[in-house]
Structure 1
Amino acid sequence: MSEGQATLLLRKQLKELMRNPVDGFSAGLVDDSNVFEWAITIIGPPDTLYEGGFFNAIMSFPHNYPNNPPSVRFTSEMWHPNVYPDGRVCISILHAPGDDPNGYELASERWSPVHTVETILVSIISMLSGPNDESPANIDAAKEWRDSKDLFKKKVGRIVRKSQENF
């Protein structure tokens, strides 16, 4: 798919999200002149440790989208087993299409051009609801999630309050 086609597809997805907002997040362009960089705010899902938080992220699309996935990086502080310390989100659907070189994920779990901004963000909200600590991006958060739940809950509670103050 050409850059022009990617631009048209991203503009179409943005227009659809503006016309029919989805509960749990908001999305828009970082800069109106660049459809490949989106500013995202994810609202902490109800009945989770992240409930009530407002977490900002940047979604960066490759110029051959949807053949390859975007990257998503939280710019708000985040403590989660599936978020690298630098904020990058690590979930299967954001991994390049095809077979996993490490043999951990099935090709069907990885990126597919059928995914949209909406399905990606719904997957990230689901990740906040249920961490996968078997293949962590943040080993310290995963260890704490498994071994020191009270300490994990305190850290997340602090970042939720901080996100509310910064919103």
Structure 2
Amino acid sequence: MSTGSRKRIVKELAECHADPPPGTKVQLIDESNVHTWEILMDGPENSVYAGGHFKLNLTLPKDYPFKPPTLNFATKIYHPNVSNDGKGSMCLGMLRSDEWKPPNRLLAVVNMARSLLLEPNPDDAVEPQLADQYKNDRAEFDKTARDWVRRYAAKK
């Protein structure tokens, strides 16, 4: 990793510490590795995820910022933009290789993840059946999402 890349990552981590989205805490998983971050995020009030406490992992490639980071939910979540395959992969347009731009900031990635908890994007889903339920049977989607919050994301 270049010194410039490390400096950029450290600077962006400081930005996330200085101005985190509400209910969000960003930290390194291992102080000696700036490429793996842990994000602790409370489910936003006025969302079906309210009351939940979610852990996400952000992994930066060695050639960051020229390649996008990956963002995964470590906490199970019922969400059309998060895979239910045990990996918790998050579908965010800005994280796709063809859409990522080096000027993008990690704080924007964290903000985008939080905004998807407030308002999922069923038109860019990684779980099509959940997107369909979100669009066509919102009451059942909300009920199941709240149940998953209680089962998997309630503070212990």
TM-score, with length taken from structure 2: 0.88
User: What's 1:82 paired with?
Assistant: 81
CA distance in 2, matches of 1:18, 1:73: 20
User: What's 2:113 paired with?
Assistant: 124
CA distance in 2, matches of 1:155, 1:60: 29
Contact 1:61 1:71 in 2 (8 A): yes
Output the aligned Cα RMSD: 1.7
Q: Give unmatched runs, 5+ long, in structure 1.
A: 98-109
Q: 1:158 aligns with which of 139, 147, 150?
A: 147
Structure 2 residue matching 1:37: 3-state secondary structure: strand
CA distance in 2, matches of 1:165, 1:159: 13
Greater displacement, 127-136 / 29-38: 127-136
TM-score, with length taken from structure 1: 0.83
Contact 1:25 1:40 in 2 (8 A): yes
Q: CA deviation at 1:39?
A: 0.5
User: What's 1:14 paired with?
Assistant: 13
Q: Give unmatched runs, 5+ long, in structure 2.
A: none
CA distance in 2, matches of 1:149, 1:3: 47
Aligned structure 1 segments of 4 or more residues deviating by more than 4 angstroms: none
Aligned residues: 153
Q: Residue by residue, what CA displacement relative to the aligned partner does 1:51-109 show, whole Å, maximum 9, x if unpaired?
A: 22211010000111111110000000111111111311101111113xxxxxxxxxxxx
Structure 1 residue matching 2:17: 3-state secondary structure: helix
Percent identity between matched residues is 27
